[in-house]
Amino acid sequence: MLPGFTPWPEKVAQYYRETGCWSGETFGQLLRRQAQSYGEQVVLVSGEQRITYAQLDQRVDRLATGLNRLGIAAGDRVIVQLPNIPAFFEVIFALFRIGALPVFSLPLHRRQEVIYFANYSEAKAYIIPDIEAGYDYRTLAAEVKAEAPGLRHIIVAGEPGEYMALEDLYEDLVELPQEPVASDVAFLQLSGGSTGLSKLIPRTHDDYMYSLRASVEVCQLDEHSVYLAVLPVAHNYPLSSPGVLGTIYAGGQIVLARSGSPDEAFALIDKEKVTITALVPPLALVWLEAAVSRNVHLDSLQVLQVGGAKLGAEAARRVKPVLGCQLQQVFGMAEGLVNYTRLDDPEEIIVETQGKPMSVYDEIRIVDEEDNEVEPGTAGHLLARGPYTIRGYYKADEHNARSFTSDGFYRTGDLARLNPAGYLIVEGRAKDQINRGGDKVAAEEVENHLLAHPAVFDAALVSMPDMYLGERSCAFIIVRSDRTENGAAAAPSAMELKTFLRERGLAAYKIPDRIEFVDHFPQTGVGKVSKKALRERIAQQSAVR
């Protein structure tokens, strides 16, 4: 078993097996099975390229052979930072087949994030594209390699430069080592981070496969489904809710988009007869605007999923009349629990709630500060436990003690209430995180980077309301007194601080949208920084402007 992984207690695991939640199938086996059932059907469409299930299965075997020959073996961790291209699928399934673990990094991650994941996971290899969206990942890899001594291989999907070409690793299949078992950890997914840096989330074949099966059922996917992948596929939502892996589970077809722009997406929906896609709320707003102004109807589209952040009821109400498809709200987390509104739910439920747990085996509780259940219908802290919700982060004992109850419930950090029909309404957040239109920013992480600036005495990052993204971030800064006394020249400007963070190699979505200089922070009764007061202050200030 992977060191640093917290398994489900044996009795619980047995129960999930007996009830059939955990089927014992691995991802490597799933692809093999689908290649047998749907061999000649197209699984991936990327530009002009069309790849069938049988072709994908063969390419995966050949890549697994090459990766294995390179020395990547069962249990090894490999950072995968690939955009929505076929190589993403070949790489992850090849790793699954040899029992190596993808560590999912998002395309927007930069030096800080990748170095941290590489060292935290003790990754042996790092797989990148050459240039994507104008950014050269080989330059990033050089910087990462210098700070992550454990990285032995850098593999490039595309022009390799000084590194190794992924294409050269496809070899004739020789015998592969024994495949992993379904109770093994299949990969490490990223958390949004609530205190400090993101934690890694170990997901097993068993638990993740179950989440696919339940998602496919709720979302009614089958072999005729065509899923458009707009969001970066490494994220849990487009990966598995039901996402690209759910589509493979159902025998359907995946259409890969490189961006979420209506120009690209609408054309793909029309051309490939897409039936379902998934967006975050800001993108859904852009699509609604674009559909109205261009007077387009996305005829084949049956379901538009929106999740990752809260969708306003007003926007939710417009989806069906404007786009002509059913809206499905998705409230999930990489740690496990996923809630969906059902496709046949009444309009009010679909528009006003964030759905209900996808499985009857999900257990949720809404509690107060003392972990006592609140009165039905009142808001409280959402706790979750179940067959696909983790029991601990990877190698994070101290953090785990705070993030899980003694009886194994995950503390989601979300504030929610239940309506009488058992649907969740997200009311806010207790965790110190900013949800920037679906991109999660851990306040403490950004504060620590700000504190590294010689002129910064203290920093507090909070959310401020934003019409488009839902929330943006605002950093309140106290400048060192010697700086302010020495005159304006010595105190940094907001622009300088942003540049400082960017040059440190922090993902762009974590750079504060706004910076406010203050003399002191408001305090809570016990002398902590009152982020609530700071949030109220910036909300008022931005409303005045």
CA-based angle 201:190:433, to the nearest 5?
A: 110
Give yes or no for a cis peptide into 7 (omega within 30° of 0). Answer: no
> At closest approach, how far in Å is the CB of 462 from ligand OOB?
16
> At closest approach, how far in Å is the CB of 95 from ligand OOB?
21
Binding track over 435-454 against ligand OOB, x by CB under 6 A? x----x--------------
> At closest approach, how far in Å is the CB of 42 from ligand OOB?
26
> At closest approach, how far in Å is the CB of 92 from ligand OOB?
17
Give the residue, chosen from 333, 418, 501, 538, that forms a contact with ligand OOB under the rule CB under 6 A: 333
> At closest approach, how far in Å is the CB of 90 from ligand OOB?
24
Q: Output 4 or 336, the one with its CB closest to ligand OOB.
A: 336
d(CA 11, CA 261): 48
d(CA 291, CA 389): 37
The structure tokens listed for 195 are 């205190």
C-alpha 459: how far from its chain's center?
27
Indicate whether 236 belongs to the interface with ligand OOB (CB under 6 A). Answer: yes
Q: Output 85 or 384, the one with its CB closest to ligand OOB.
A: 384
Q: Output 35 or 212, the one with its CB closest to ligand OOB.
A: 212
d(CA 136, CA 142): 11
Binding footprint of ligand OOB, residue count (CB under 6 A): 22
Indicate whether 470 belongs to the interface with ligand OOB (CB under 6 A). Answer: no
Indicate whether 386 belongs to the interface with ligand OOB (CB under 6 A). Answer: no
- Work out the angle between the directed axes of helices 27-38 and 53-70 (0-180°, nearest 10): 150
Q: Output 28 or 282, the one with its CB closest to ligand OOB.
A: 282
> At closest approach, how far in Å is the CB of 331 from ligand OOB?
4
Determine phi and psi for 68, rounding to 5 degrees.
-65, -40
Q: Output 99 or 336, the one with its CB closest to ligand OOB.
A: 336
* Strand ranges inside 346-409, DSSP E: 356-357, 363-367, 380-385
Indicate whether 507 belongs to the interface with ligand OOB (CB under 6 A). Answer: no
User: Binders of ligand OOB among 134-193, rule CB under 6 A?
Assistant: 192
Binding track over 281-310 against ligand OOB, x by CB under 6 A? --------------------------xxxx
Does an H or E element contain 463, and which? Answer: strand 456-466
Which residue's C-beta sits nearest to ligand OOB?
A: 332
Where would I find the H helices in 295-364? 313-323, 347-352
Asked whether 157 and 166 are in contact (CB, 8 A), the reply is yes
> At closest approach, how far in Å is the CB of 437 from ligand OOB?
11
Give the residue, chosen from 225, 329, 341, 353, that forms a contact with ligand OOB under the rule CB under 6 A: 329
Indicate whether 237 belongs to the interface with ligand OOB (CB under 6 A). Answer: yes
Indicate whether 241 belongs to the interface with ligand OOB (CB under 6 A). Answer: yes
Tokens 């489900």 identify what position?
8
d(CA 450, CA 521): 16
Binding track over 339-378 against ligand OOB, x by CB under 6 A? ---------------x------------------------
Q: Output 248 or 330, the one with its CB closest to ligand OOB.
A: 330
Indicate whether 417 belongs to the interface with ligand OOB (CB under 6 A). Answer: no
> At closest approach, how far in Å is the CB of 416 from ligand OOB?
9
User: Binders of ligand OOB among 309-328, rule CB under 6 A?
Assistant: 309-310
Asked whether 243 and 218 are in contact (CB, 8 A), the reply is no
Residue 15 neighbours by CB under 8 Å, 6+ apart: none
Residues 223/229/232/233 CA torsion (nearest 10 deg):
10
Asked whether 309 and 324 are in contact (CB, 8 A), the reply is no
> At closest approach, how far in Å is the CB of 253 from ligand OOB?
21
The structure tokens listed for 49 are 């390229």
Indicate whether 338 belongs to the interface with ligand OOB (CB under 6 A). Answer: yes
Does an H or E element contain 58, and which? Answer: helix 53-70
Q: Output 34 or 412, the one with its CB closest to ligand OOB.
A: 412
Residue 337 neighbours by CB under 8 Å, 6+ apart: 357, 362, 364, 384, 386, 388, 389, 410, 412
d(CA 227, CA 44): 10
Backbone CA torsion sign across 399, 403, 404, 409: negative
> At closest approach, how far in Å is the CB of 144 from ligand OOB?
23
Determine phi and psi for 91, rounding to 5 degrees.
-65, -50
The structure tokens listed for 414 are 């979300």
Indicate whether 381 belongs to the interface with ligand OOB (CB under 6 A). Answer: no
Span interacting with ligand OOB, options 332-340, 344-352, 476-484, 496-504, rule CB under 6 A: 332-340
Indicate whether 385 belongs to the interface with ligand OOB (CB under 6 A). Answer: no
d(CA 99, CA 1): 12
Give the residue, chosen from 107, 282, 332, 505, that forms a contact with ligand OOB under the rule CB under 6 A: 332
The structure tokens listed for 122 are 């003790």
Nearest CA among 205, 230, 252 for reference residue 17: 205
Give the residue, chosen from 93, 331, 476, 500, that forms a contact with ligand OOB under the rule CB under 6 A: 331
Q: Output 25 or 427, the one with its CB closest to ligand OOB.
A: 427
Residue ranges that bind ligand OOB, judged by CB under 6 A: 192, 236-237, 241, 307-310, 329-334, 338, 354, 412, 414, 426, 429, 435, 440
